[in-house]
Amino acid sequence: MKKKGILRALSAVVVLGSALILTACGGKKADSGSSNLPKASYKVSKDTPAWKSDKSKMTTLTWFVKEEWWNKDYGKDYITKQIKKDLNVNIKFVTGDDTKLNTYFASGNMPDMITIDDPNSKVARTANTWAYSLQDLATKYDPYFYKVAQKDTLNWYKIKGQTYGYPNYSNTPADYKSGKILPRDAFIIRQDVKDAIGDQDFTTPEGFVKGMKAIKEKFPNLIPFGFNDFSGGNSSLENVVQDMLGVPITKNGKYYDRDLDPDYIKWLNAFREVHADGNISDDSFTDDSNAFKEKVANGKYATMMMGSDVNQGTDLQNFATKHPGAEYLAINGIQSTVGREPTLSQAGISGWLINYISNKSKNPAKAIQVFEYLLSNKGQMLTNFGEKGKMYTQAADGTVTRTAFAKKVQLEEPTKWQKQYRIGEFILFGHDRYKALNKDSYVKAVWQMQDWGKKYLKPQFVIENIAPDPGTQEARALSAIQTNWSTTMVSMIRAKDKSEFDSALAKYKKFQKENSIEAINKTRDANIVANKKKLNMK
Amino acid sequence: MNSEAKRNKSVGSKVANWCRDFGRQWQLQTMVLPGIICMIIFNFIPIYGLTLAFKSYSVTSTIQDSPWVGMQNFQTILQDKYFWQSVQNTVGISAIKLVIEFFLPIILAIMIFELNWAPFKKVVQTITYLPHFLSWIILGGMLITWMSSNGMLNGLLNMLGFNIHTNHMLNAGGYWSIASLSDVWKEAGWGTILYLATMSKIDPTYYEAAEMDGASKIRQIWSITIPEMSNIIALNLILSVSGLFNSNLDQTLVLMNSQNQPKAEVINSYVYRVGLTQGDFSYATAVGLGVGIISVVLLTITNLVTKKLNDNQSVL
């Protein structure tokens, strides 16, 4: 009886408590809309940045960045000190994951600015319900924003005619044409290996298999062929190889399944033969990014299908410095058997991290000023190169040279470089256009690789963000298909013979059919049409 | 009429009794209060979140705002091949773990208990506890290295004359044994603690008497040690069986790769992948709720069975 009484009391408390909490959470509904924005407290002009005329007192903004690695320091290093001084703004950075973001939404207590990383996510796709339109803010508070923002990028992120988010590293068609965007992928080989094996042709599947055998003979201690780790996706064996082969991204305006392209399959079979000869190590399939980096830094692989050489820059450089004459070089390899040119890709128009101003922000005027400042030439030079004169000098043609002092600090005091100067690290509005002004932005070891691929760069904007809406049946089916493909692709390379290879592929095709690939592709097709419209393409 | 009045009266007097008792112990009851409040906040109120399983929820909405979708998420589960694969793997790996990890600590505990030389006993205990304190991130990294094509395992096998150069982590068929054995290696030592504590409580005169009667060591273990531990063994069995659907997320995330995934994906990692990395919270909650219900059923069944075996006394 006693027990029952306590139970009853307990349940009463539970009901009461949850009721209280529910009422506390309820009631707050989004009241979006930019119509009731307060008037600017300063004179607005389209020729001067608003931060120059805004004399209001120091304001504090909260900025949520959905990346755990983001450095939350503010006002301690030269760069953020300068931002604070110029804009009279104090920024409180908060980092976290989706759960944290969700508590913001659920409580209605939103940070002023929000940075997320996935243009495909529900958060990004419903931005019009929780963020201010950048056009509204810019027109009202800082029309200079239109001068510094890329028109194509603004167009790309439009939802119902308004732009809510602005990404970093968004490359527009003009950027691709400018030659300032550098490729990241290449088939690379160690110089000493290349010299020792004589004339080998790595451009055809047959030559590739033969070339790997030749390497094994001369360098039994090296692994002839390597590729990026699988921890973040399908290594460099999927998209990167497809780009090398120039596999088209659409066919007759419709989505093209690049994984099933006959040319690509032919190359996968070549990789199978290389694996069967013992010239691909099984460990390459289980290595995580650290293990891969270690192998790169030690020159373990004789050749590599290198995806994103910039990210392996330090390791490539370390190896090159320690082993002069053995540094990795980009050569022609892994090329189309049907005569297509490589179509290397780089960051697309969607960019990487997307910045928003929440419609709960108490000070949207300051927030848009921050956006404008960071996007402007002044902000970009500051975040990329630091203090003019002390850290860098700029020539008449715009190219930037780091001062001897800057080079010394970077080389000898990396902690100080990061903590006190924070050069090239404040990248929420970063862009390669500025990085390209200084050759030293990239390590010397990748220069030749970048030069090799320059002429092959080609945007893939039309297939960006075309996946079905997250949370739908189609999205779940697509995720199942992608999981299955990861397993299938590796199984195909590790297959003992051609028949095992073929049956794995057939099984995957069947799996695709069973998991409504047709409906998914229809959604993709519709999204491609929408993308083309945004890009003004026919 | 009469009996009802009587009952009302007795209920009334019982309530009065309860209040009086409560009043007498109010100091003690107050001490319990913070615990109860914490439990309500952290264990009961979040139960409300389970309604997500019947809704279509996204990061940008609140739980109340999301539309009800009824059993739709559960219907999807039934057709989800990857979910069933993860159930199969979870139960498979757990069953192997259950068999080995249930018996091994008992045997190990008895062996440690029978050791007479104290310093050696301490060393054995420390060594067997040690892996428990390493996280799966470290242990998993070690395992991957050992299992790699030039790793320790192949080194040993090749020394014995086998000529093996495969990477064992890519072998989906072997994953269940790798996962369960490595878990046993990590946890068996730690599992002995409860048993050793119970054994130290056994009256030594039992053993003395048994020795006088000429019972062998094995006989003593069988007739004294094990019966004395039966309650704690039963409790551990109930907990292990109800944990059949629990899977080791840390271990899976470290050891899983694209090749062993069909055999390595467990419910927890599946929920993590779908719920957190793909933002499909409602679906993930539905999976979690379903698994929770099955676990409660399992717990009840094992409790009933052990109760039967234990002279109708529950150990819970």
Does some domain include residue A303?
A: yes
Range of the domain at B22: 2-41
Do A201 and A338 sit in the same domain of this protein?
A: yes
Do A156 and A252 sit in the same domain of this protein?
A: no
Work out the pLDDT band at B7, boundaries 50, 70, 90.
low
Do A376 and A339 sit in the same domain of this protein?
A: no
Work out the pLDDT band at B2, boundaries 50, 70, 90.
low
DSSP label at A376? S
Do A258 and A212 sit in the same domain of this protein?
A: yes
* CA-closest candidate to residue A333, choices A456, A439, A210, A189: A189
Report whether A236 contacts A307 (CB < 8 A).
yes
- Dihedral sign (CA B291, B297, B301, B306): positive
Residue A165, helix vs strand vs coil = strand
Rounded to whole angstroms, how far apart are CA atoms A372 and A374? Answer: 6
Do A199 and A339 sit in the same domain of this protein?
A: yes
Work out the pLDDT band at B4, boundaries 50, 70, 90.
low
Between A8 and A141, name the one with better pLDDT: A141
Q: Percent of chain A, pLDDT > 90?
A: 72
pLDDT at A461 over 90: yes
Rounded to whole angstroms, how far apart are CA atoms B79 and B77? Answer: 5
| Contact state of B167 with A25 under an 8 Å Cβ cutoff | no
Do A58 and A89 sit in the same domain of this protein?
A: yes
**Within the 309-368 window of chain A, which residues sit less than 8 Å (CB to CB) from chain B?**
none
pLDDT at B235: 85
* CA-closest candidate to residue B121, choices B194, B186, B189, B220: B189
Across the interface, of A21, A22, A483, the residue whose CB is closest to B82 is A483
Do B146 and B197 sit in the same domain of this protein?
A: yes
Question: Which chain A residue has its CA at the smallest distance from B274's CA?
Answer: A476
Task: Compute and round to an integer the Cα radius of gyration of chain B.
Answer: 26
Does some domain include residue A243?
A: yes
pLDDT at A380: 95
Does some domain include residue A253?
A: yes
- Domain C-terminal end among A294, A319, A343: A343
| Contact state of A494 with B259 under an 8 Å Cβ cutoff | yes
Do A367 and A259 sit in the same domain of this protein?
A: no
Do B255 and B152 sit in the same domain of this protein?
A: yes
Q: Chain-wide mean pLDDT for chain B?
A: 87
Do A319 and A218 sit in the same domain of this protein?
A: yes
Rounded to whole angstroms, how far apart are CA atoms A468 and A490? Answer: 26
Do A150 and A212 sit in the same domain of this protein?
A: no
- Domain C-terminal end among A343, A361, A395: A343
A232 touches chain B (CB under 8 A): no
Do A149 and A97 sit in the same domain of this protein?
A: yes
Per CB-CB distance under 8 Å, the chain A contacts of B279 are 98, 121-122, 470-471
DSSP label at A224? E
pLDDT at B264: 93
**Within the 488-517 window of chain A, which residues sit less than 8 Å (CB to CB) from chain B?**
489-491, 494
> Looking at CA atoms only, how far is residue B113 from chain A in angstroms?
40
Reported residue count of chain A is 538
pLDDT at A149 over 90: yes
Do B163 and B106 sit in the same domain of this protein?
A: yes
A301-306 β-sheet, strand order: A223-227, A301-306, A186-190, A328-330
Burial of A124 (0-12, 13-18, 19+ CB in 10 A): buried
- Where residue A364 sits, what CATH number does that domain have? 3.40.190.10
pLDDT at A239 over 90: yes
Does some domain include residue B64?
A: no
Does some domain include residue B47?
A: no
Do B289 and B244 sit in the same domain of this protein?
A: yes
Instruction: Report pTM.
Output: 0.82
Do B297 and B228 sit in the same domain of this protein?
A: yes
Do B25 and B136 sit in the same domain of this protein?
A: no
Between A506 and B310, name the one with better pLDDT: A506
Does some domain include residue B316?
A: no
Do B241 and B300 sit in the same domain of this protein?
A: yes
Per CB-CB distance under 8 Å, the chain A contacts of B154 are none
Of all residues in chain B, what percent are helix, strand and coil, respectively (each to 5)? 80, 0, 20
Per CB-CB distance under 8 Å, the chain B contacts of A470 are 58, 278-280
- Dihedral sign (CA A15, B268, B88, A475): positive
Between B300 and B316, name the one with better pLDDT: B300
Does some domain include residue A248?
A: yes
Q: Which of A206-210, A376-380, A461-465, B286-290 has the lowest mean pLDDT?
A: B286-290
**For residues A121-136, average pLDDT:** 92
Do B16 and B79 sit in the same domain of this protein?
A: no
pLDDT at A18 over 70: no
Do B28 and B118 sit in the same domain of this protein?
A: no
Rounded to whole angstroms, how far apart are CA atoms A346 and B91? Answer: 44
**For residues A357-383, average pLDDT:** 95
Does some domain include residue B54?
A: no
DSSP string covering A12-47: HHHHHHHHHHHHHHTT------STTPPPPSS---SS
Do B32 and B172 sit in the same domain of this protein?
A: no
Does some domain include residue B60?
A: no
Do A148 and A222 sit in the same domain of this protein?
A: no
Give the type of residue at A39: K
Work out the pLDDT band at B6, boundaries 50, 70, 90.
low
pLDDT at A32: 46
**For residues B20-29, average pLDDT:** 90
Burial of A302 (0-12, 13-18, 19+ CB in 10 A): buried
Work out the pLDDT band at A19, boundaries 50, 70, 90.
very low
**For residues A118-139, average pLDDT:** 92
* CA-closest candidate to residue B207, choices B199, B310, B112, B108: B199
pLDDT at A349 over 50: yes
**For residues A404-430, average pLDDT:** 89
Between B141 and A16, name the one with better pLDDT: B141
Chain B interface residues facing chain A, Cβ-Cβ under 8 Å?
14-15, 18, 21, 36, 40-41, 44-45, 48, 56, 58-64, 76, 80-82, 144, 148-150, 165-167, 169-170, 257-259, 261-262, 274, 276, 278-280, 282-283
| Contact state of A122 with B63 under an 8 Å Cβ cutoff | no
**Number of domains into which chain A is organized:** 3
Does some domain include residue A452?
A: no
Do B28 and B106 sit in the same domain of this protein?
A: no
Range of the domain at A503: 466-538
pLDDT at A34: 52
**Tell me: the pLDDT tens digits for B285-311?**
998 898 888 888 888 888 888 888 777
**Tell me: the pLDDT tens digits for A70-116?**
999 999 999 999 999 999 999 999 999 888 888 898 888 999 999 99
pLDDT at A26: 40
Q: Chain-wide mean pLDDT for chain A?
A: 89
Rounded to whole angstroms, how far apart are CA atoms A32 and A11? Answer: 39
pLDDT at A122: 84
pLDDT at A23 over 60: no
pLDDT at B5 over 70: no
pLDDT at A28: 40
Does some domain include residue A388?
A: no
Of all residues in chain A, what percent are helix, strand and coil, respectively (each to 5)? 50, 10, 40
**For residues A459-488, average pLDDT:** 89
Q: Which of B44, B55, B60 to mutate to test the interface with A (most CBs of A within 10 A)?
A: B60
**Tell me: the pLDDT tens digits for A331-340?**
999 999 999 9
Does some domain include residue A499?
A: yes
**Number of domains into which chain B is organized:** 2
Residue A442, helix vs strand vs coil = coil
Do B14 and B144 sit in the same domain of this protein?
A: no
Does some domain include residue A389?
A: no
Do A42 and A68 sit in the same domain of this protein?
A: yes
